[in-house]
Amino acid sequence: MAEFTDAIALLKADHRKVEELFEQFEKARDDNRKQVLATQICNELKVHTAIEEEIFYPAFKGKIEDDTLAEAYVEHDGAKVLINDIMAGSANDEFYEAKVKVLSEEIRHHVHEEEMPSEGMFAQCRRTDVDLVALRDQMAARKEELMQQAESGALPAAELRVLHMV
């Protein structure tokens, strides 16, 4: 579990991996390849949002700006709507590529908000007394569990926390 120096390094590595997958998706020409990449993107994001919402964000409640956390939850829900839609569709659906593109843009914005120097969520988190190494260990264990579910096809749909979609 010591692959990453701390919880923030683990989350940043997830960000880089998903950015790379989005780039591969944009370059892909074959519908089957696009479908495989989109599924991988969605599973990575479902696992990432789960470990942030179950472990990382709660550890900083009351220790960083409330607005920063609130916006992160709402941004996650916006992404989850698209993730669930993409997972339910197929690469030859009319708006499939557009949904992946918009998801990519939403994630790019969210990553920027978290990684911004000085005011970003991660910068705020580093200024707290939270043990980021212990948090990393918890998150890595949960991530491993969720990735195994994803590989077996048993990862459930992304659950919305704050948005109520009709």
Please give the average pLDDT of every successive group of 10 residues along the chain, which has 166 residues.
84 97 97 96 97 98 96 95 96 95 97 95 97 97 96 88 67
Identify whether 165 is part of a domain.
no
Identify whether 125 is part of a domain.
yes
Q: Which domain holds residue 133?
A: 7-151
Q: What is the pLDDT of residue 157?
A: 87
Identify whether 162 is part of a domain.
no
Q: What is the pLDDT of residue 165?
A: 56
Identify whether 157 is part of a domain.
no
Q: What is the pLDDT of residue 143?
A: 97
Q: What is the pLDDT of residue 1?
A: 44
Q: How far apart are CA 16 and CA 52, in angstroms?
A: 16
Q: How many residues does the structure list for the chain?
A: 166
Identify whether 158 is part of a domain.
no
Identify whether 2 is part of a domain.
no
Q: What is the pLDDT of residue 161?
A: 85
Indicate yes or no: pTM above 0.85: yes
Identify whether 166 is part of a domain.
no
Identify whether 160 is part of a domain.
no
Q: How many domains does the chain have?
A: 1
